[in-house]
Homo-oligomer: A and B are copies of this chain.
């Protein structure tokens, strides 16, 4: 390698690409400020000591062995733009050395919150089926078409999980004067209160809500914690809106609860993705389907690149990253989301 005074960053953003996550302008800035080495994520070790010795950043989440990490004395941060954390690098060693591992999933918070509110309003006002009825000439006019309609204003809302998605949901709900209760066992009560929501138990959230939003990450401990019993405890006619990962839900039990008419629901995620053509959720009444597209907006992907640039700028100046979310020693091994295959 020839000498280059720009800090060196290894680029291995698969399954994403630099083109997906950077605007043209941001991409130019990236290249102006950094020497970018495009790497095969499956072979970081093969980059050679010249590159490894100088690399300050890795953009992406390539598999890394302890040995490879040992060859990277200047490494400050792994900037994971896939958002899920895969257990493919020696996190403990990274943390010992003070190398940050950060994720950019926050970019999805706003789009997910917006479509989540869209689902809630569609369920509350039966927007989809009334439009279909209208297309077919079977619409009901005025109050007659509002048999099951209700307001979000003044309602009771439950949010399960209060990370970036939960906070974004609270924000889009701020104009509705609703009571918002949150279940998040990873956060202390007072932090929830500072965000203007009530800390609550899972049971309270389920039994006292008109709308329940699920934005909890999957962990090694919460697989299918939302099961038949949970759905049975919900208010009749209430709405269940699943926005994070299907693994937190017993999906069959969810479908059964909707099929019985006890609740209505919307989901962006499924036990299998793509879903078999004959899956019964396709024809389930009282259910809004969305094909894992809640967050995947181009504008969200482009924001990833901005976040990466902002945090690299801080770290270049010897400061800690503040924009992306840092993986935590205590919880990194508990995260269990599958990686995405489709952006």
**What is the interface of chain A, defined by CB distance below 8 A to chain B?**
95-98, 110-111, 114-115, 117-119, 121-122, 124-125, 127-128, 130-132, 134-137, 139-146, 149-153, 171-176, 185-191, 273-274, 277, 282-283, 288-293, 296-299, 301, 306-307, 310-311, 313-314, 317-320, 322-323, 328-331, 340, 342-343
Contacts and interface: CB of A to CB of B under 8 A. Distances in A.
A136 B310 CA distance: 43
Nearest to A20: B143
Nearest to A323: B188
B143 A290 contact: no
B121 A322 contact: no
**Which 6 residue pairs across A and B have the least CB separation, nearest first?**
A118-B121, A188-B310, A134-B289, A142-B342, A143-B296, A139-B291
A134 to B, nearest CB: 4
Given A139-B291, A296-B143, A299-B150, A114 B110 contact: no
A69 to B, nearest CB: 15
Nearest to A342: B142
Nearest to A300: B151
8 contacts: A111-B151, A114-B124, A128-B128, A135-B282, A143-B293, A175-B175, A188-B322, A191-B323
A289 B322 contact: no
Contacts of A330: 318-320
A290 B130 CA distance: 7
B141 A293 contact: yes
B134 A291 contact: yes
A142 B291 contact: yes
A116 B142 CA distance: 15
Given A135-B289, A137-B282, 8 more contacts: A96-B97, A122-B128, A128-B131, A132-B132, A139-B289, A141-B292, A141-B293, A187-B322
Nearest to A147: B298
A314 B188 contact: yes
Contacts of A115: 121, 125, 127
Nearest to A294: B125
A190 B307 CA distance: 8
Contacts of A125: 114-115, 118, 293
Nearest to A133: B291
Contact of A342 (B117, B143, B151): B143
Given A122-B127, A130-B290, A306-B190, A340 B153 contact: no
Contacts of A95: 98
A111 B314 CA distance: 30
A74 to B, nearest CB: 15
A173 B122 CA distance: 16
B189 A310 contact: yes
Contacts of A283: 135
A338 to B, nearest CB: 13
A177 to B, nearest CB: 8
Nearest to A279: B137
B173 A141 contact: no
A299 to B, nearest CB: 6
Contacts of A131: 128, 288-290
